[in-house]
Chain A
Amino acid sequence: MTKTAKVTEFRSVADMTIGESAVISSVGDDCLDIHCHCLRLMELGFTPGQEVSVVAKSPFKDPLAVSVRGTIIALRKTEAECIKISTDGIRN
């Protein structure tokens, strides 16, 4: 699988650049891991249809600061990968 194909098919919050906004399409749909914390992500406010944007990244590129529902939440990349965004991400 080429890199570009991956990006267009399964973009997640982890792939977003700083300042980019997008709409969440699904959370944890393809997570196979039983220890996954996707439910917690949803409880935190990352629900499908919600708009998110990446505000900043830690100097070590991980975790990311993601804005959702009026607040900013820091997430590790592995967690951000569970939050898929719709490909037709809307630009600001």
Chain B
Amino acid sequence: MALEIKDPAVNNTPLKKSINETKLPVIALIGMPNSGKTTLFNALTGSNFKTSNYPGATVEYSIGSLVNRFGFSSYVMDSPGIISLNPSSPDEDVTISGLFNHPKFGLPDVVIVSCDCTQLSRQLFLVKQVIDTGFKTIVALTMNDLLDKKDMFVSEEKLGKILNAPVIKINSKKKEGINELIRKAEEMYLDESIVDYKSTIRKPGHPAEEDVAKLYDYTEQTEREVLESKNNIDINEVNRKAFRSLSRTPDLNSMKLDKVFLHPIWGIFIFVISMGIIFTSIFWIAQPAMDIIDTAFSSLSQLVADSLPAGAWYSDLITNGLINGFGSVMIFVPQIVILFILLGLLEDTGYLARAAMLIDKPLSKFGLNGRSFIPMLSGYACAIPAMMAARTISNRRERYLTIMIIPLMSCSARLPVYALLLAMVVPPDKPWIAGIGLGALYLFSIIASAVTAGIISKFKKTDEKSTFMLELPPYRTPVFRHVFKNTYYKALVYVKQAGPIIIVISLLLWALTYFPNVNPEIPESKTKGLTEEQISKVIESERLNTSFAATIGKNVFEPVLKPLGWDWRVGVSLISAFAAREIFVSAMAITFNITESEDDEDNFQTSILASMREARSPDGTRPLFTTASTISLIIYFMFAMQCLSTVAVARKETGSWKIPAIQIVFYTIMAYVLAFITYNGLNLLGIQ
């Protein structure tokens, strides 16, 4: 399930248009991590990329067009945060190569460097580097509101003079200074006083330590000159008296809060509780909304079934295949929304960076890094953005290992599958057991991934040094509006992407289960004394049993799957689920041919469960879905690499087929073996 945000107005390759349009000027946004680039980008382009209070939120450059309102048509490029022009991790490489040799744009016409003015001496480091490279540079001062709280402000004129570049204060959230920024960018673009300035721009090499020290001397000097106090007190005087220089003291509240959040006991307690709350509330809070969606889809399916000619070949396809298939995936939108809201809120507070720091030591025991934490956590939503988030890990081995284990995180696409299968094994009068079961699955997936990482890291050693340096952003009250907006777009993407896949796979599966024996001959003896409805069921099951899907399934899948307690229908559903895991549910609906739904008042989930309970094992002696075979199916889903998009992203992020190939082979074998052990082990224990 791909959950990348793709705003229609913004995409990474809008440039196959006319030559005229490629001639549009390009403005690049550069800046240190968490300095407010994406917030500015969204204000400039009207897009909705994710901003969050975590350094490393953006890991890919994105290109958008300036909103018409500004009256200056140009492209804007957002980029991952960098510390200096000398990159040390893949996300920083993205920025540097986007800045110096973008495959389509070449060099940008204007560079806007965002500069968090609460840490002026540090952030001016990058500003100065960019200016010295020769770019037409504008400095956008961000976080002025925070500096204001310390009773200080930056003098733009003085800073502009020292840097010899325009400086503009902005607040992207309140849309202040944005217009001025654009006017300046336009002016600089049109300024042709420096002929052919681009040809002089060179990517700087590796700096020497002395250069870094010298550059910092310069920024400190500059900071002293431009920082002013609101109350007309001489800052130098203040700094001289108090030992801690006021301008370089981090946010005081954050320091106090860190005493609690990183406390030896409370720190761990808060970590465990907050993770626990996130994963349990997904189930408790979402239930009412899920029930509403379930009912809505069931009534829709009922309504359509009533208005379509009964018995027509397409009635079944539309009601069972399409409506119920789509419904079975939509049911999980509330859970996904809640997961995204909670993660978004937590991210926006600035806590996640602390969580990453806290978990660094334990993760390093498994060959991972504190920076693996955010990718792993987002893996619970979807593996695709999670693998991309691993770009912030500078050590290659740790990054590959993180990418390696991300598919084991229980992503949101598994929820529909688990929910369905758990409902099979849990007694209907005790639904809370399913909640506990899901919690256990989540916990188990963490343990499984840690063990896998530990084993792999034992085999693969390197001398590449592991590092962990992470800026801890100030704590902030999350902006609910932003989080909700982000969540809305993500949910929209989920729905939009699930829709077409489900329709295509459903049609395909339906055709495979319907042809070639469309009107099977049933011997008289078999239909004797049966009602019309019963006869149509016999016909249907005969048609299914002689279909293409059955022929392939019985010959190819059944011999392999029989030791796990499954039949060809499960096999066909598993293969369909390779396109995306949640397809499994709608594929089951088609292969098990739920005809009950027409005369049943009950909702979709109940009807699919009913036909699963009725299903018999290949030899017809016992039910197909016993506790043992259902649990083995759950175990299979925990490990199997059942997602094409994840394979593609793993290939892209690691630059070779090696890791995705290992993931497919290794995880599929592991899934099969563990499912086999589960099924036969449970049988041995007397659990059928």
Chain A positions within 8 Å of B, measured between CB atoms, are: 21, 27-28, 33, 35-45, 47-48, 50-51, 53, 55-63, 65, 67-76, 79, 90, 92
Digit string of B114-126 for contact with A (CB within 8 Å is 1, else 0)?
0000111110010
Chain B positions within 8 Å of A, measured between CB atoms, are: 83-84, 86, 88, 118-122, 125, 206-207, 209, 212-213, 216, 243-245, 247-250, 254-255, 258-259, 262-265, 267-268, 353, 356-358, 360-362, 370, 463-465, 467-472
Pairs of residues from A and B, 4 with the lowest C-beta to C-beta distance, nearest first: A70-B119, A60-B361, A35-B465, A69-B122
**Contact present for B88 and A40 (CB under 8 Å):** yes
**Contact present for A38 and B209 (CB under 8 Å):** yes
> A39-B207, A65-B262, A92-B244 given as contacts; is B268 within 8 A of A59 (CB)?
yes
In the complex, which residues of chain A have a beta carbon less than 8 angstroms from the beta carbon of B207? Answer: 39, 43
**Contact present for A65 and B258 (CB under 8 Å):** yes
Instruction: Report the separation of the CA atoms of residues A70 and B149 in the bound assembly, to the nearest whole angstrom.
Output: 14
In the complex, which residues of chain A have a beta carbon less than 8 angstroms from the beta carbon of B247? Answer: 70
CB distance from A63 to the nearest CB of B (A): 5
In the complex, which residues of chain A have a beta carbon less than 8 angstroms from the beta carbon of B244? Answer: 21, 51, 53, 92
**Contact present for B470 and A76 (CB under 8 Å):** no
Closest to B269 in A: A59
In the complex, which residues of chain A have a beta carbon less than 8 angstroms from the beta carbon of B249? Answer: 67, 70
Instruction: Report the separation of the CA atoms of residues A63 and B245 in the bound assembly, to the nearest whole angstrom.
Output: 25
**Contact present for B212 and A51 (CB under 8 Å):** no
In the complex, which residues of chain B have a beta carbon less than 8 angstroms from the beta carbon of A60? Answer: 358, 361-362
**Contact present for B212 and A72 (CB under 8 Å):** no
**Which single member of A40, A41, A70 contacts B250 (CB below 8 Å)?**
A70
**Contact present for B258 and A43 (CB under 8 Å):** no
CB distance from B122 to the nearest CB of A (A): 4
In the complex, which residues of chain A have a beta carbon less than 8 angstroms from the beta carbon of B360? Answer: 58, 62-63, 74, 76
**Contact present for A71 and B471 (CB under 8 Å):** yes
**Contact present for A70 and B472 (CB under 8 Å):** no
In the complex, which residues of chain B have a beta carbon less than 8 angstroms from the beta carbon of A48? Answer: 213
Beyond known contacts A35-B463, A37-B465: 18 more, CB 8 A cutoff: A39-B86, A40-B88, A40-B467, A41-B469, A43-B207, A45-B122, A51-B248, A56-B262, A59-B262, A60-B362, A67-B249, A72-B471, A74-B357, A74-B470, A75-B469, A79-B467, A79-B468, A79-B469
Closest to A53 in B: B244
Instruction: Report the separation of the CA atoms of residues A88 and B247 in the bound assembly, to the nearest whole angstrom.
Output: 23
Closest to A75 in B: B469
Closest to A50 in B: B216
CB distance from A91 to the nearest CB of B (A): 8
**Contact present for B469 and A56 (CB under 8 Å):** no
In the complex, which residues of chain B have a beta carbon less than 8 angstroms from the beta carbon of A45? Answer: 119, 121-122, 125, 216
> A40-B83, A43-B86, A48-B213 given as contacts; is B262 within 8 A of A57 (CB)?
yes
Q: List 24 A-B contacts (CB under 8 A).
A: A37-B469, A40-B467, A41-B469, A43-B83, A45-B119, A48-B213, A51-B248, A58-B360, A59-B262, A59-B263, A61-B361, A63-B360, A68-B122, A70-B247, A70-B249, A71-B118, A71-B119, A73-B469, A74-B353, A74-B357, A74-B360, A74-B370, A76-B360, A79-B467
Closest to B472 in A: A72
Closest to B82 in A: A43
> A39-B207, A92-B243 given as contacts; is B250 within 8 A of A74 (CB)?
no
Instruction: Report the separation of the CA atoms of residues A90 and B259 in the bound assembly, to the nearest whole angstrom.
Output: 22
Closest to B358 in A: A58
Instruction: Report the separation of the CA atoms of residues A65 and B358 in the bound assembly, to the nearest whole angstrom.
Output: 10
In the complex, which residues of chain A have a beta carbon less than 8 angstroms from the beta carbon of B463? Answer: 35
**Contact present for B465 and A36 (CB under 8 Å):** yes
Instruction: Report the separation of the CA atoms of residues A49 and B469 in the bound assembly, to the nearest whole angstrom.
Output: 20
In the complex, which residues of chain B have a beta carbon less than 8 angstroms from the beta carbon of A55? Answer: 250, 255, 258
Instruction: Report the separation of the CA atoms of residues A63 and B249 in the bound assembly, to the nearest whole angstrom.
Output: 20
Instruction: Report the separation of the CA atoms of residues A35 and B245 in the bound assembly, to the nearest whole angstrom.
Output: 33
Residue from A42, A48, A61, A62 having most chain B Cβ neighbours under 10 A: A42
In the complex, which residues of chain A have a beta carbon less than 8 angstroms from the beta carbon of B122? Answer: 44-45, 68-71
**Contact present for A47 and B213 (CB under 8 Å):** yes
**Which single member of B255, B357, B370 contacts A67 (CB below 8 Å)?**
B255
CB distance from A74 to the nearest CB of B (A): 4
Instruction: Report the separation of the CA atoms of residues A41 and B470 in the bound assembly, to the nearest whole angstrom.
Output: 11
**Contact present for B254 and A72 (CB under 8 Å):** yes
> A40-B83, A69-B248, A70-B248 given as contacts; is B88 within 8 A of A62 (CB)?
no
CB distance from A33 to the nearest CB of B (A): 7
**Contact present for A40 and B262 (CB under 8 Å):** no
In the complex, which residues of chain B have a beta carbon less than 8 angstroms from the beta carbon of A27? Answer: 209
In the complex, which residues of chain A have a beta carbon less than 8 angstroms from the beta carbon of B357? Answer: 58, 63, 65, 74
Closest to A62 in B: B361
CB distance from A32 to the nearest CB of B (A): 12
CB distance from A88 to the nearest CB of B (A): 13
In the complex, which residues of chain A have a beta carbon less than 8 angstroms from the beta carbon of B258? Answer: 55-56, 65, 72
CB distance from A51 to the nearest CB of B (A): 7
CB distance from A9 to the nearest CB of B (A): 22
CB distance from B483 to the nearest CB of A (A): 24
**Contact present for A43 and B84 (CB under 8 Å):** yes
CB distance from A82 to the nearest CB of B (A): 11
Instruction: Report the separation of the CA atoms of residues A74 and B262 in the bound assembly, to the nearest whole angstrom.
Output: 11
CB distance from B113 to the nearest CB of A (A): 15
In the complex, which residues of chain B have a beta carbon less than 8 angstroms from the beta carbon of A40? Answer: 83, 88, 467, 469
Closest to A74 in B: B357
CB distance from A40 to the nearest CB of B (A): 6
CB distance from B275 to the nearest CB of A (A): 15
Instruction: Report the separation of the CA atoms of residues A41 and B469 in the bound assembly, to the nearest whole angstrom.
Output: 8
In the complex, which residues of chain B have a beta carbon less than 8 angstroms from the beta carbon of A61? Answer: 361
Residue from A44, A69, A90 having most chain B Cβ neighbours under 10 A: A69
**Contact present for B361 and A63 (CB under 8 Å):** yes
Instruction: Report the separation of the CA atoms of residues A60 and B364 in the bound assembly, to the nearest whole angstrom.
Output: 12
